[in-house]
Structure 1
Amino acid sequence: MKKYDVFVIGSGMAGMTIANKCASKGLKVGITDELPYGGTCALRGCDPKKVIIGATEVRDFAIRLKDKGIDTVPNVNWRDIMAFKQSFVDAMPPKIEKGYRHNDIDTYHSSAKFLSKNTLQLGTDTIEADKIVIATGAKPRVLDFEGGYLALSSTDFLNLKELPQSLLFIGGGYIAFEFAHIAARCGADVTIVHRGKRPLENFEQDIVVHLINATKELGIKLVLATEVSKIEKRDNHYTVTGTTDGKEMTFRTETVFNSAGRPPAIFDLELDKSGISFSKEGVAVNEYLQSASNPNVYAAGDAADSKGLPLTPVAVMEGHIVASNIIKGNTKKVSYPPMPSVVFTLPTLAAVGLTEAEAKSQKIEYQVNYNEVGNWFNAERLNVKEYAFKTIVNKEDHTILGAHLIGPNAEETINLFAIAIKTKMRIHDLRTMIFSYPTLSSDIPYML
């Protein structure tokens, strides 16, 4: 049996942060991951996705400025952009493992299962640790209907050697929208089938409606209030069956993708043997990100049922908190700053802080500023159709409660709103700032 001060399950951004920080303080650390080191964001999510989106941004910009100075619209070379993407992905695991070796961290490449409160089984190895950290992230939801196993995952999409002529996405969250926009801009026929009446339910619906408009204009078929019940393989295509208001309908497509959500990847760890409380939301943790029922265990990132959004920067922040609490004892409570969230479609949708519904439920006296501003200079110079904002302001102290944007550069502009919310900057101070002009950020004073 091998013994450690700290053993980390999962080598994504949370796990990597914890392992390296604990090792830097002289603790004996081990880490394992059944997948290549790096986690979802670096290898199967945010980073490779953004590389691919870069090519579609060029094409989208050229289309908008066609006959306005641009004569030729470029095509996206799928093979070339995938090779470019892979250059980033392939570099990560060996780089991360080299860092672990430099810090004297023992590395394993195996799934883990609990044997008791502080012991694990990793293949043929038995591990005992004073502290065990669960940082296993999330994985695609299992589609438990007939033929559900035939649907590919977001990982599969990011590794397509050739782009299919037609694709169907099951689910109406950000993954479906982002990948649908990529595929449609590369010439594919795309359908999104969502069981709810509204897609992107966690975002401000006054802004989502603009993304729906842009999505439909791109030629993507958006089918709502439809529950998928079956996938069948037929020769060189798939038939997907769904039900709307009791009526059955079918869709023919070359490829089907499961984008129906990502629950925490904790249910194969045999947590019952360790006395760890958990739910479908993740490992139950206290304010120190320590297991609510087993003090030997901590959890961070998507594996924990914390109040943090499932975002990479949140996982890193939680990783630092867990590491600090392991090193110093439980001295650091988790506290979340405003967490910007982005749907990387074109146009981009971005949000931070409270929605109007949340402000209302908290009985805050608030004011809403909402406007469609396709006639503003920044929209017209970029020939953008969908440009809108919704800001929610506290009437009592004149600070910003929430900001919701759609349009060019929204993923960057939203960070300035996050700073304003965290620092409780008054709207008067924002209105009287001098912004560089003409930039998208210079529109902020007019959004308040």
Structure 2
Amino acid sequence: MSKSYDYDLFVIGAGSGGVRAARLTAMGGKKVAVAEEYRVGGTCVIRGCVPKKFMVMASDITHQIEVAEGFGWTIEKASFDWPKFRDTKETEIARLSGLYNANLSKAGVEVINGRAVLKDKHTVEIVGTGQTVTAERILIAVGGRPFVPTFPGSDLTITSEEAFHLPELPKRIVVVGGGYIAVEFAGIFAGLGVETTLVYRGPGILRGFDDDVSAHLTREIERHGIKVVLSAEHTAIEKTETGLLNRLSNGMELETDVVMFATGRVPYVKDLGLENAGVALNDKGAIKVDEYSQTTADNIWAVGDVTDRVNLTPVAIREAVAFHETVYKNNPQTVDHTNIATAVFSQPPVGTVGLTEAEARKVCPGEVDIYVANFRPMKYAFYGAEHRMLMKLVVDATTQKVVGCHIVGDDAPEMIQLAGIAVKAGLTKQQWDETCAVHPTAAEELVLLKEKRVVEQLP
């Protein structure tokens, strides 16, 4: 380290990406500090993936009771204690955050509790302390924050961040949005016995996902008791003596106890001092980076959601590893952001990897073959439930490579992790078909799909 700097590397943000980069660099013998204004662990551990998955697990018990009764069990009394669950969840999150802190310390990273802002390309100020430090290199990994549009009454809403800490469960809730966070929390609240309405301004939920996935999931979440209102958005929310009155653009009025907005997340760049260091934003308001995560300042990099590339925790971690390899090990690495498997923990859940049918028809040079199975899994057929499962393969007809795989139904996230390997490897439909089925499973349909879906040609 040059004697003119306090640190070799200063990391702003102790989420999954920032923590990984800090640890690797410190273990490589460099002097490293990381600043975090809230709690070490970031969005995923503190207010995202991890606590949300606990909530999904808790809320799915309602469905499992339904299944149990279908299989002959008698459940005489079942009740849910929200404060007990909430507090137990918080204890576990605190434990995980403590592990992150401990691992940073073991690696030799100095953890600074406070908000860091850039004063120039080598200088960082810890807000409210008067402390400034310098670093040869800086990594920005501050993630994103929920976005709520401004309209009359928008201040009466909550976001996913407040939903984790509600003092009590509401009897009624309106969840606004059509993305994965919205459909996940709609399923959570419905499963916990809350009267749930999902409002989305678009024509179909999960915009950007395969159209069949969107349509199938809509039908399934309605079977789970969620009321879905599409092509509508809020014009106002008014506080009444009995709750919150939601006025929608389609003329509907809904009264509820809580309104949760899940209308997207934006990079957390406000008042970060980027202009002081010559760090530019792209046209979407994210930090502009090249393929090696380097910003427009030659000594500053950025990884994770603040760059708005692929906003997933495992991607942020891979970007952090690539940063470390490139900058500190003379081993330039980039991250391939294509064919990344992902899951939506809706109820039922979604697993997807690769191209949607619409995308494939645009980018594949020739025809596209579509294979679809829509069926009742044996668990539900046994007792006459109507829950159905969707499996879909998108195949480039010219190369016969499976370029997309989409699943909606129980265990879809577990299946898509392995299906993602096959799609990433570029395996052909024949190779999928040559794989022997595991019976009896729902997953076996992935290697048994034989009939192509016929697409009618427009005149």
TM-score (ref. length: structure 1): 0.93
Q: SS where residue 244 of structure 2 aligns?
A: strand
- 1:179 aligned residue: 185
1:218 equivalent in alignment to 2:224: yes
Residues 378 and 438 of structure 1 are in contact (CA less than 8 Å); yes or no, is this contact kept in structure 2? no
Q: Distance in 2 between matches of 1:156 and 1:196?
A: 25
CA 3–177 in structure 1, closer or farther in 2 if over 3 Å, else same: same
Residue identity opposite 2:95 in structure 1: A
CA gap of 1:300–1:367, structure 2 versus 1, over 3 A, is same
**Per-residue Cα deviation, 1:339-362 (whole angstroms, up to 9, x for no partner):** 112221221122110011111121
Partner Cα separation in structure 2 for residue 153 and residue 305 of structure 1: 20
What is the distance in 2 between the residues matched to 1:378 and 1:204? 26
Q: Which moved more, 1:345-354 or 1:91-100?
A: 91-100
Measured in 2, the distance between the counterparts of 1:131 and 1:236 equals 55
State the shift of 1:132 in Å. 0.8
Work out the CA distance in 2 between the residues paired with 1:429 and 1:114.
52
Q: Distance in 2 between matches of 1:67 and 1:162?
A: 31
State the SS of the aligned residue for 1:57. helix
- 1:185 maps to a residue whose letter is G
Equivalent-residue separation in structure 1 for 2:66 and 2:86 (angstroms): 22
Pick closer, same or farther for the CA change 1:229–1:270 going to 2, 3 Å: farther
Alignment of 1:13-412 (within 5 A): 13-72=16-75, 74-123=78-127, 124-244=130-250, 248-279=251-282, 280-291=284-295, 293-306=296-309, 309-329=310-330, 331-336=332-337, 338-365=339-366, 366-374=368-376, 377=378, 380-381=381-382, 383=385, 385-412=387-414
CA distance in 2, matches of 1:389, 1:98: 42
The structure-2 alpha-carbon separation of the partners of 1:98 and 1:65, relative to structure 1 and needing over 3 Å to count, comes to closer
Identity of aligned residues (%): 30
Q: Rate the CA distance shift 1:337–1:363 in 2: closer, same or farther, 3 A.
A: closer
C-alpha deviation, 1:256, in angstroms:
1.1
Provide the secondary structure at the position in 2 that maps to 1:283.
coil
Cα shift at 1:141: 0.6
Provide structure 1 residue ranges, at least 5 long, that are not aligned to the other structure: none
| Shift of residue 169, structure 1, vs aligned partner | 1.3
- Comparing 398-407 with 329-338, greater Cα deviation is found at 329-338
CA–CA distance in structure 2, aligned partners of residues 353 and 210 of structure 1: 18
1:114 partner amino acid: L
Matched-pair contact (CA < 8 Å) for 2:400–2:428: yes
CA contact (8 A) 1:59 1:75 kept: no
Within 2, Cα distance between the matches of 1:325 and 1:360? Answer: 36
Give 3-state SS (helix, strand or coil) of 1:95's partner: helix
- Deviation of 1:3 after TM superposition, in Å, equals 1.6
Give the Å deviation of 1:236. 4.9
Higher mean C-alpha deviation, range 98-107 or range 9-18: 98-107
For 1:428, what is the secondary structure of its paired residue? Answer: helix
TM-score (structure 2 length as normaliser): 0.91
Q: For each residue in 1:237-269, what CA deviation from the matched residue of structure 2 results, as whole angstroms up to 9, or x when unmatched?
A: 21222212xxx4322111111211111111221
Q: Contact 1:393/1:402 (CA < 8 Å) preserved in 2?
A: yes
Contact 1:22–1:327 (CA under 8 A) maintained in structure 2: yes
Cα distance per residue 1:26-59 (max 9 Å; x no partner): 1111101111110111111111111121122232
Report if aligned partners of 1:353, 1:403 keep a CA contact under 8 Å in 2.
yes
> Structure 1 pair 188/434, CA: closer, same or farther in 2 (3 Å)?
same
| 2:15 aligned residue | 12
1:428 alignment counterpart: 430
Contact map agreement 1:6 1:132 (CA 8 A) in 2: yes
1:403, distance to aligned residue in structure 2 (A): 0.7
Aligned residues of 2:5 and 2:136 also touching (Cα < 8 A): no
**C-alpha distance in structure 2 between counterparts of 1:339 and 1:154, whole Å:** 24
**TM superposition shift of 1:129:** 1.2
Shifted more, 28-37 versus 376-385: the winner is 376-385
Unaligned runs of 5+ in 2: 451-459
Q: Is the 8 A contact 1:347 1:386 kept in 2?
A: no
Q: What is the aligned-residue RMSD (CA, Å)?
A: 2.0
* 1:3 maps onto 2:11 in alignment: no
CA contact (8 A) 1:59 1:76 kept: no
**Counterpart for residue 456 of structure 2:** none
Which residue does the alignment assign to 2:444? 442
Matching residue's letter, 2:317: V
1:305 deviates by 3.8
Q: CA deviation at 1:329?
A: 4.5
Cα distance change of structure 1 residues 305 and 347 upon mapping to structure 2, 3 Å threshold: closer
The one-letter amino acid of 2:414's match is E
Letter in 2 for 1:68: F
Mark the CA change 1:381 to 1:283 in structure 2 (over 3 Å): closer, same or farther.
farther
* Residue pair 1:2, 1:126 contacting (<8 A) in 2 also: no
Confirm or deny: 8 A CA contact 2:374 2:390 kept in the other structure: yes
Q: Partners in 1 of 2:37 and 2:97 — Cα distance?
A: 12
C-alpha distance in 2, partners of 1:399/1:193?
A: 37
